[in-house]
Structures are given as C-alpha cells and as structure tokens.
A and B are shown apart, each in its own frame.
Chain A
Amino acid sequence: MNGGRTGRHIGSILIRAIITLLMVVVLNFVLFRVIPGDPAALLLGGARTSVTAEQMEAQRQNWGLDRPLFPDQVVHYLSATLQGDLGYSFKFRGQRVADLILERLPATIVLVGLAQFIAILSGVMLGLYAGWRRGGAVDHIATGASLALYSTPSFWLGMLLVVIFSTSLGWLPGYGAYSPGTITGSLDSLLDYLRHLALPVTAVALGLIGQYVVVARAAMSDVVTEDYMVTARAKGLTNGQMLMRHAFRNAMLPVVTLIALNLGYVVAGAITVEAVFAWPGIGGLTVEALNARDYPVLQGIFLLLGASIVVANLIADLAYGLLDPRVRQ
C-alpha cells in the first residue's frame, strides 16, 4: 500500500470535482448576465416589482453590479454563491432562492431515496441472478424488460400508473402529497402520505431498475467467465460458495459505482416524475420556475443538481479506488 500515491489519486479526484463545480457556477453567472434587462432588477424580482431608484442603486452597490464584470463581479458572485446567497425569486416575491430550495428538498429526498432503495434491491438482485444464469428464462425476460424500461421516460410510466391505479382502479391517489383536510402529525396523515408516495416512487424506481439490471447482469457475466471462477470450480467449491465468495464481490464493483453515480442523477431524473404527480419537491419547483421564467430559482436548482452530481461522482471515484486497489496504481 503506497500512501503517497493514494493521496495523489484522491487529490486529483478532488481537484477535478472542484473545477466542475466552479464551471457550474461560472455558467450560472454567464447565463444570468446574458438575459436582457438590468441584473439588479432581475435580482430584485423582475420588472414586476415596484422598487424605488434609491433601493435599486443600493442593491446595485450591495451586489457589486456597479463594478467591472471581471474580475470584481465574478469574484463577488462566487463568494455570494459559496455563502448560500442565490438571490431572490421572481415568482415567490421576496423569498430567498436558497430558502425556497431547502424547503422543497426533503420531499424530493424522500421520493428519490425510497425509489433508489427499491430499485437497488430488486434491480441488482435480478441482474446478478440473470448474469449468473445466462441464457435462462429469467435472463431473457429480465434483459428484455429492462431494455424496454431503460428506453421509457419514467414520467410516462408515472402517467400510466395514474391511469391504471388511480383513475381506473381508484386504489391510490395520483396527485400531491396529502389529501386535503388531513391533520399533520397523526398516524392517519402518515399513512395518507405513504399512499400518495406509492405511485411516484414506483415510477422513479421502475426507471432505475432497468439500468441496475443491465449493469449488474453485464458485471456478473464478465465475472463468471474469469479464470478464477474456473479455479474455484476446480477446487470443488459448490455453486453457492462460488457465488458468495468470488462472483458476488467482484460483480458488485461496477454496480456500486452506478449506485453512487445515480445518487446525483436521480434528482434530475425525478423532476419530470414530480411534475406528473404535483409532488411538492424540487421537480415541482422547477416546473413553476420554468413557467414563470423565474431565472434565479432555475439557476439555484441548476446549482443544486450540479453540486449533487459532482458530489456523487466524487463518491463513486473514491469508492472505486477503495474497492479496487488496482485503480490507485
């Protein structure tokens, strides 16, 4: 184990992550300056608000908009963003973008977290089994179904779920997070919340399962043809011992990477699903911001998505290095 080398490996991963994040912030800065109109007016809530000239001037100074674009404004923008100052929303007047996003984030985390959990459990198991028994009936069905799921937009699956389970059968609600009139905090309201959660979680999970099956199956079928599996069989290990001691561990490597990467991507993927179910998370906020041309909110969401993707990549890279010592060399 070479400590210096490992340190350098982690260092280069960190630097790459920071550069990517910086590029997200700079892109935000450029986009905001490209929009026609006075940035101060935009930051104060668009042309719709009535502010006096003095207030405007004060804000211009406050945000450093009277100074040159580069480097003053860029540096100022970077430091403001780092401190969590993302400006003010146009639509929700006076509300800070950071507050709006933080308020909506828990609903998305619940939705996405639960969906990931279900998708990992079912998708990875199914994929590993299909790869272990290549060419079997389960393999054929699972591979076909997961390719189809992979090619299907998950929000459309959500719409189908609403038609089937909400409209036709009337089993589950297909809109919002709470029924009107429920008292928050009671057991009933928790059950009500879970019932509202069922369909959106299923839609997001179905969208993810396809990927997990495909990757887990490919990883497993690579492993079963390796020389050490032949050796294991020659040693007289049973199928179960081969699966648990050799195949499973090695096949999990790409799967773990995909899981880590997906931590970042699923939030973006859930946006359209949330739009279908009017789920009160980041996706709902995105749709409202798009419809109202609420650019500060949109850019705040972009920053959030960018940051979560960068962090997820960081975790994936580090996990890979941790699990596979060859990567560090």
Chain B
Amino acid sequence: MSESTVRYSPRGRARAIKGFLRQFLSYGSAQVGLVCLVFFLVVAAVPNILVGPLQTAINATGDFLVPPSGQHLLGTDEVGRDVLNLVVHGARISLMIALLSTVISLVVGTTIGMTAGYYGGRVDVWLMRLTDFFFVMPSFVLALVITPVVLEVMGRGGEILGFRPSLFVILVVIGMTSWAFVARIVRSQTLSLKERTFIDRARVVGSSNFNIMVRHILPNLVPQIAANGALVVAGAIYVETSLSFLGLGDPLQPSWGTLLSLAQRAGAASAGAWWYLGAPGVCVLTVSLSFVLIGNALDDTFNPRRRVIP
C-alpha cells in the first residue's frame, strides 16, 4: 500500500533529525552518557586487540592477588589473571546480554502493547492481564526461579549462538520477563494514535490491520520505545549482574557479575583486594548510569511538557 502512505520529503526528515539531535545533545547528562557508552562499546567490540585473549587459570600472567602496578594496571585475581583483561572481556559479555535481552523485551513489549491497544476489547483485557503479572513481578525474581529450571532441562554444556547455555538462558529470560513496562506505554500511545485521522485514511484506502500497525502506528511509537529502551538496558544490566553474582553465570564466559561472584568466593573483600571487586563494579555503575542518563535525556527531548520551568 505504498501509494497510500504520505511521503515526507527527505530534507524535512533530515531537518527534524538534526533538530532532535541538537536538542538531545544540549543536555550535559546525554553527552556524558554517550561518551561513556561509546567508550565501552569500542572496548567490547575489540577485546582481543586491546588486552589479548581471555586469560584462564592456565595462561594467567601474574601472581595471586597482586595490587595494581605497571605490569598489571588493575592488579590480578586469586589465580593470577590480569583483572584488566577480565573486565575488558567482561564488557563484551555484559553488554551483549544486556542489549540482546533489551531487543527481545522491546519486540515482545511493543507487539503486545500495540496489539492490545489496536484491537481493544477482549484481546486487550487478556493481554493486559498478562502484562499486569509481569509488571508486578520483577524480572529478577522471575529469572531467579526460571533460569535454574530451564538450565536443568537444557543441560549446561556446549554453546548456543556463541553463548554458554546459562548466559543464553539468562538473556532470554530477562528479555521475556522485562517487557511489561514497555507494553503499557506502547498500549496507551497506540490508543491515542488509532483515533487520529491518518489511521482512518489508511483504513479507507484498504490497508490491512497489520499494515496499519507496522507502517503507520509503529513509526510514531519510536520516541517512546527509544526512551524506555535505554531504561530497559539499565534494568537488564542490573538483573544480569545480580543473577551472575548469585552464581547463575558461567565462569568460562565471565560477565562483570560473574567476576564479582568470583571475587566474593575468593574472599576478595576480606583480603582487601579492592581492585579485584572494584573494577567490575565501577564498570557496571558507569554503563548503567550512562543508559539512565541517556534515557532521561531522550525522555526530556521527546516530552518537552515534562520539563517544568524552574
């Protein structure tokens, strides 16, 4: 139904995007968040070039629990591995899990929210009842009981799509349990969008329901999805870190949470090995704070009404 869609001039769209970026980048918090995020994404993209392959107990390069020095900038762990090497590789794993589970969460949340809002009636009631459950129950609590059971069924050996099974299960479970927030926002937005005249116009020229949702409603939801997506990532990092800390991660692919779990088991805190537990924690803090700052700035940019004039 391409003839029924109104085409925006490319120049107008470019101007709109430029205006958005100027507004978004004018927030100091957005700048800080973006810079930190880009730094960590670069680190996560090329860990092998920066610090060489992931160290194990076999190819560890240092002594046990050595404080930071010129040779080991962030010290070593209890088996002599370089902590800098571990956190750089951990960045890749933590960010991959957080981003992929966010993608799942956004897809599920948008689909359910849009379907509920668009069709209304009984579909809406049942989908929202389901959403209520996932809205009330935190992802962490659900994942805490679902993850070990699914792992028991699947087994812990081998790899799925490049992930160890426990990490794969964690990322799917986080994605499948953290979408309710998105679904609610998308639904309320869809409810108001479907009353607009351009939807009526699309219906009159014979667009199918699916077509209307994907081509007319979805593009208008992008601002909400983007602003909340950033907050979903921050939540996913928190849940993954907590689950891995409780021992549900995989030592063969250590995320930051798994490193904190290893540090805890090695007694790093009572041994005073602040570098060992400090490095992964600072990374978690920086990345999730960056996403929160970016999310808030996006929200402020898209909803100028929420900015109260001081």
Tell me the A residues contacting B by CB distance below 8 Å: 16, 19-20, 23-24, 27-28, 31, 34-36, 134-135, 147-148, 150-153, 155-156, 159-160, 162-163, 166-168, 174-175, 221-222, 225, 265, 268-269, 271-272, 275-276, 286-287, 290-291, 293, 295, 298-299, 301-302, 305-306, 309-310, 313
Contact = CB atoms under 8 A, between A and B. Distances in A.
Nearest to B140: A268
Contact of B149 (A35, A151, A272): A35
Contact of B264 (A276, A298, A299): A276
Contacts of B272: 163, 167-168
A147 B137 CA distance: 23
Given A159-B277, A163-B272, A163-B274, A290 B247 contact: yes
B147 to A, nearest CB: 9
A34 B153 contact: yes
B269 A167 contact: yes
Given A162-B269, A268-B138, A306-B137, A16 B132 contact: yes
A276 B137 contact: no
B141 A35 contact: no
Given A159-B263, A174-B269, A286-B144, A151 B289 contact: yes
Pairs of residues from A and B, 8 with the lowest C-beta to C-beta distance, nearest first: A162-B269, A151-B289, A156-B281, A302-B145, A151-B288, A167-B272, A31-B149, A152-B285
Interface of B is mostly: helix
Given A167-B270, A313-B136, A159 B247 contact: no
B58 interface: no
B277 A163 contact: yes
Given A20-B133, A31-B149, A147-B292, A302 B269 contact: no
Contacts of A162: 269-270
Output the residue of B132, B145, B274, B288 with the most chain A CB within 10 A.
Answer: B145
Given A160-B281, A290-B148, A272 B245 contact: yes
Interface of B: 129, 132-133, 136-138, 140-141, 144-146, 148-149, 152-153, 234, 238, 241-242, 245-248, 260, 263-264, 268-272, 274, 277-278, 281, 284-285, 288-289, 292-293, 308-310
Contacts of B270: 162, 166-167, 174-175
Nearest to B145: A302
A309 B138 contact: yes
A291 B261 CA distance: 13
B290 to A, nearest CB: 9
26 contacts: A16-B132, A20-B133, A20-B137, A31-B149, A36-B153, A151-B285, A151-B289, A152-B285, A155-B260, A156-B260, A156-B277, A160-B277, A160-B278, A162-B270, A163-B274, A168-B272, A225-B309, A265-B138, A286-B246, A293-B148, A298-B144, A298-B145, A302-B145, A305-B141, A309-B136, A309-B138
Contact of B284 (A153, A268, A305): A153
A220 to B, nearest CB: 11
Nearest to B248: A290
A134 to B, nearest CB: 5
A290 B132 contact: no
Given A268-B138, A298-B144, 11 more contacts: A19-B129, A20-B136, A23-B133, A24-B137, A28-B145, A134-B310, A151-B285, A151-B288, A153-B281, A271-B246, A275-B245
Nearest to B287: A151
B310 A135 contact: yes
Nearest to B290: A151
A283 B292 CA distance: 27
B152 A36 contact: yes
B149 A34 contact: yes
A135 B263 CA distance: 40
Contacts of A225: 308-309
